[in-house]
């Protein structure tokens, strides 16, 4: 199985196991529901004799115990698959790529947050004009009664174009790393034997 395939199957198992196993006392629903007991009223209603009731009980008990073991097997195998993937990622340097991508994504987020925060701010080129407006308001405050200066503006402390260039450079670097990761994922294989229960859940049987 390629590392990319292993990653996909781990994600699929994670999704399947995300539904918490529920324990209930009657009925039999999906694979994530373990029936821990059964009521005698239903059992006796469906049984023509004591021997038949015992047989039905034993059958239901066997099914439920097997269901429990199947769920536990899949959970253990899920952990083993993750361990294999982590080891293979380290072996081929994929873990470092993932770390770099995560770090670059965080940098990109910070820069984009700054860009968003200064989207309506003035650039340093407006400083001279804004200061001249301030001087005009100061003069009018002295000359006119009840005049209040409303000169106030937000000045960006960053060069917007420079930030955009950095975001673009980071995006290109992330793309390169993702391409390299995909290349490694689909060119290297991991050896593992899946239990019947896990293979069936993944649709591999």
Give pLDDT tens digits for 109-139.
999 999 999 888 787 777 777 777 777 777 7
As a whole-number percent, the residues of the chain with pLDDT over 70 amount to: 86
- Position 40 pLDDT exceeds 70: yes
CB atoms within 10 A of CB 150: 7
- Position 5 pLDDT exceeds 70: yes
| Average pLDDT value over all residues in the chain | 84
**Using CA atoms, how far apart are residues 199 and 74, in angstroms rounded to an integer?**
9
Which residues, including other chains, have CB under 8 Å from residue 113's CB and lie 6 or more apart? none
Looking up tokens 């990761």, which residue turns up?
A: 181
Give the pLDDT confidence score for residue 27 in this predicted structure: 55
- Position 148 pLDDT exceeds 70: no
More confident residue, 42 or 175: 175
0.85 cut: is pTM over it? no
């Amino acid at each position: 199985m390629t590392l990319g395939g292993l990653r996909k199957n781990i994600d699929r198992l994670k999704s399947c196991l995300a539904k918490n196993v529920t324990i209930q006392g009657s009925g039999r629903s999906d694979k994530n529901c373990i029936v821990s007991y059964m009521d005698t009223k239903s059992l006796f209603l469906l049984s023509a004799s004591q021997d038949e009731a015992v047989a039905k009980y034993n059958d239901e008990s066997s099914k439920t115990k097997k269901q429990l073991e199947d769920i536990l097997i899949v959970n253990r195998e899920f952990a083993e698959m993750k361990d294999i993937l982590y080891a293979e990622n380290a072996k081929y340097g994929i873990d470092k790529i993932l770390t770099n991508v995560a770090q670059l994504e965080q940098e990109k987020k910070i820069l984009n947050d700054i860009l968003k925060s200064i989207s309506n701010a003035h650039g340093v080129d407006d400083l001279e004009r804004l200061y001249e407006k301030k001087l005009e308001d100061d003069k009018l405050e002295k000359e006119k009664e009840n005049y209040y200066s409303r000169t106030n503006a937000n000045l960006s402390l960053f060069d917007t174009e420079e930030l955009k260039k950095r975001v673009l450079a980071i995006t290109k670097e992330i793309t390169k790393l993702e391409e390299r990761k995909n290349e490694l994922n689909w060119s290297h294989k991991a050896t593992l034997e899946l239990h019947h229960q896990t293979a069936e859940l993944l649709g591999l049987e």
